[in-house]
Every structure is written in C-alpha cells, then in structure tokens.
Chains A and B, each alone.
Chain A
C-alpha cells in the first residue's frame, strides 16, 4: 500500500471509456508527473484524484482512505490550476486564506499561515492587490501559495507553467523543484511538456489514449521506453525510429539499415537475443545524441558502430549542431558538437552508440531490446 493508490481505476462517460484500468501507486514525498499529449486522459485522472470527476470503477486511496465519493474538500488535497483560478473579486491575501476560511480555521491562524506562505514565496508585498493587477509569474506564485497554505497530503498541479513565457517557465520549474525538495510534499503534476516531466519528477506516468503507457523513473523512461509512443514522446529532438532488418553475421545480430543512396549498413546489436529475430523486420530506435562524430563518441560504450551517410541539412543551435540525414527512407537527426565539420551535401562518417539503441516489434510497437 502506497501513500496514494490509484487502483484499477477507469472513467467512462456513458458508454465511452476514456481511462482504462489505471494502476499507479506512489509513496509519500514522491513527485509523480502525468505526461502525454492533449486528450490522453491525464487531466481527467488528476481531476479524479481531486474529486472533481467521479470514479467510474476501481478505487483511489490516499493514506489508505478510500476517496471514491468523498468531496474534494474532504480529501486534504490542494490544486494549482493552469489558469491559476484566482478569485478575481478577492485580494491576494483572501485568495490564499479562502480555503482555510472554508474549513473553519480561526482568523488569527489564517493570518499566520498566510504570512508564512507569503514569506516562503516572497509575495508579501502583493497581499493587498487584486489578481487582475498581478503579472503571470506573480499569479503563479499566489496560486502555489493558496495550495501550500492548506498543508495538504497531496498537491495536484494541472499544467501550472503552460501560461508562462519560456524564461519564466524555466525559473518557476526550478522553484517548484526546490519547494518539493525543501518541503518533501507528495505531488501529482500534469503536463504535456516532457522536459518538465523529466526534470521535476521522481516518477513519470506516460499516458496516451486513456492508457498508462509506461510508469517509471525518468531514467527508465528515457533509456528503456516501453514502446514507440513513449520513445518518441519523451526526449527532444525525438528518438529516431528507422525500419531495419535483423541479420546474424558472424554469430552477431546486426541491424541492416538503408542509407541515403539505398546501400545498406550493418549496425551491431549489443543484445545477443536479437539473434532470435534473424531475417525479420524491426524498428530501430536511436536517440540523436547517440549519433555523433568519432571524437564525441561515448568512450565508456563498448559498442560504437560507424557508418558513412550524406548530410542533408545542418542546424547549428549554439551548444550543438543538429544534422539531418536519410536512413531507411526516413529523416534521422544526429546531435553533433557545435564545432563538428559538417556541411550539407557532403558525406560524413558518423559514430553510432549501439549500446543505447532500442529495438521495437513493428507489429506491436513494443520494445524487444534491451
């Protein structure tokens, strides 16, 4: 039994099931991120934890208490909304203490709690203003203050950073992470931004089409994605997925991949069990940062393969230069050092770290190796 258990939970509207048998259990102090494209059901799941949507079947438990049918205010949770949902007619101070007031906390205690939170978030000077007079970042802080002041068991965040500009978003991300580390609270956080998911979470649930595709630590998710959806959704630029055929050469399973001119190159697998797929088609997943020039190849890797392919486009991005080529009829992106000598139209020899490569079954799109 965890701190928050989502036990075989489904959600249907009429005959349409939109969430299918979700099973997630997290411990106290964990930071769970629900990530996925819009419409994947992540917000619905969050709302079900909050009690804003009914649970069609299964159970949600917080601290072993079944929450099904319990009113949101009785679940000891707090929520930060995408739009912040600050009450426009109340001052910041009233916004923060409204929840305490509704729960019957006496005024002096409310004032005290409000001061503490305001101090923590450095918004003391805003307490007498109306939300309309605040900037986006300030509103964000107030919204967090409103959640914090309640000292809830679980914090729920519904895409809290998506309305901020890029710079502020990064700052607030760090802020949230700091708060989590400082306070050790349990957080469920919904976002569609995989970087937020990776940077903030202790665990990630990647969702799509109403299913949890994969639940795991950020590293698990990144290195061993359960399927092509997870593989391409997490990471930027996305993982390259190219058609390949397995061929055992000299007892070693190799991935044969077509290059720009139709000639094939053989990239050796690190996993011997790929020999089982001899002669069959697979999809080969290679992350952009594992395709480099020779000098930048991972020295710890035991399986660096080389291939020469033609560069189509180069995109210098300051810290890195992205190179696009064609493999298996698809665009493949490589992430090179910024000082790499790459020119569009030229042939170039790439080093591929096959230790990190992932193979998928083209029929089920599930990972078969590693």
Chain B
C-alpha cells in the first residue's frame, strides 16, 4: 500500500513541483518558511540571513508561528499543493521523512560529502536527515527533552539534593509539598504532558523498552506493566502540580520555578533561555539535570531545514544555505542563544554556559553509547498520527479522564488506529 501511495502522490508532486519551478524565486535567493519568531530565535536566525546575504544570496522570510510548527506545516502543505514550495522549510523528525517519502525533497549528498556531514553528525540524528542514503535536510541543532529545571534556592532551603532516582524524586516532591511550595511547575497542554511522559516512560522502561514502545510500536510493551507503571508515575506528578495548570504556557511554568513558587519543571533545554533572560545563572540560581533514572539517556528533537526540490537539482542557493547552517560558527552562535546544542559534535563548547556544556557532553556520550533516542513527544519517534494518538491518551489520563489501567488499553487502541 505504501508504495502505491508513493507513486500516486509522486505524480501529483511531480506536477506541482514542476509548476513551482517556473514560479521559483526570480531573485536568486532562498525563501525560508519557519516558526522562529520570538526575539532570541529570530535574532539568531538573522545571523544566518546576514551570512547568506554576504554571499549574495537573498533571503525571503516566511515566518508562520503557532502550535510548535503545526501551523507552518499546514502552510507548507498548501504551498506544496499549489506548486509553490518554499526553498527551505524548518522541519522536525517524521515530518521530514514524510516529505522525503513523497519525493519532494532535494538530494544534498554533494554538499554533505564536501562538508563531511556523515562524520560529524550523530547517527541517531542522521536518521531524520537522510532518507534512502540521501541527505535531504540540514540539521540546525539538537534539543534534548529529558531535562529537569530546578530553583536552587528552593532546593537548598528544603535540604534537597539533586535527585537521581524516582524514589529520591518523589521524596523531594513530598518535602516541597510539605513546605508549601508547588513541587512541579507544569503547563497543561498536550505536548507538555507528553514531554513529561517521555521522560517518565524512559525512566521506567529503560532505553530498550522505550524503543520497543514508541519507535517500534510494539503492542506488548505499549500495553505492558511497565507502561502502566509509567502512567502511575504520571499520577504522582499530577498530584504534585498546582490546581491551575491547565492551558498554561510552558514559559509561565518556568517563571514559577524562577520566582521560587515551584521547585521543578520537566521541560526541554529551551527553558534555559527564560532563566537567562531573568538574569539567573546556571549552577548558582538554577540547576539543570536529567530526569531521574535517565541520566545516561538523551531524548532529543532536532530542528532542521528541509530543502525542497527545485526542479530536480539542488540550487546553488540551497547549497550555500545548507553549508551555512552547518558551519561551526553558526552552529555555535545559534545554539548559545537557543539553549540547544550543536547538531555536529565537533563544535567547540567554549561559548556555552554550564548547562550547555553538560548538554553537549551528554549528547556526545549518549550518541556513542547508543543511548540517543528521538523524542516521542516531539515527533522524533513515530509519525504525527501516532504521536498525536499518544498525546490524546496521555493528556486524557493526566487530566483524570482515564485511570492508569484504562490508559494502557486506550494507548494500544489509539496507536493501532493511527498506524
């Protein structure tokens, strides 16, 4: 069935892309569709723009924010269908694979070979940038999602050390609760709940179980006791969240930690920017550590730029853009701002703060020990349909609609419908 789909849509795409080629930017530049519109990110991206314009490549900016890129993906679909695909599009995980499977992306192998991408980009990441041996996108960064952020003053005041196991963690939560501090700052949005669940599941199932459940979609693991245990742990976390969490934006949750209203937040490394913006210093004012029980693992998501096929060949502008994205200087400059770590492992960590340095070290270690996994919550473990099906169950369970047993059964069912 899959190949049938492929050929049919390939025809549609061939038509649309060729129509698009005629329409392509006449000014010898790149049109970039992305959702990095907040101050820091956009400024960082502006570095890339200036770099390209210095090389005589025009930059047409096409920002569409909303829903962590969902809105941009809708726009992309409209643009491709119209035969008017942008030259480069910010993409995540399986979205990239899906587009590559539609035959819509350009082959960047020449650039990759010239720049030696194969050697410097972790294999786990390459899975989302290479399809059938062809490079189709240029990775910008690697976010890791199994971080816990903590207010050091709050922890110190309550005599809590950095917890390394689930038991230590629950003990810490109890202490905080007794002290009248909200133990966990959390924003009640499906993706945030999934982010927490990601880390919790990794801690319970271990790397093999995580892979079996979320990457291989093995029903025996999805419906197994480990999964029920993971849901039970979510209940514990839910009990340590304030009553006003629903719908809260993640950055407001981070603010709770910054202000000392809450002790911990489970969130990806982008949360660091909020602390830095508030004038906080890592190690002094706030702490960053891996979710208890996942200290060796890194679950990641990576922003990349997909290069859309411009009439069969990679345009010189696309090549220049790809090269610029993976240049060590941009990788360093951008990721310092963004809170993430470079997508290539050979970038100097000099410009990064403590959390950044730790992130880079963790990534390198996890990559070499086979502990680097795509994050389920961020679309790097399974396709969007499955991801969202899991979201449905996790968020329904977190909001008290299902008990853990029902949630496990629903999870198996939802995944089977979405597959």
A and B in contact, CB less than 8 Å: no
Which positions in A face B, CB cutoff 8 Å? none
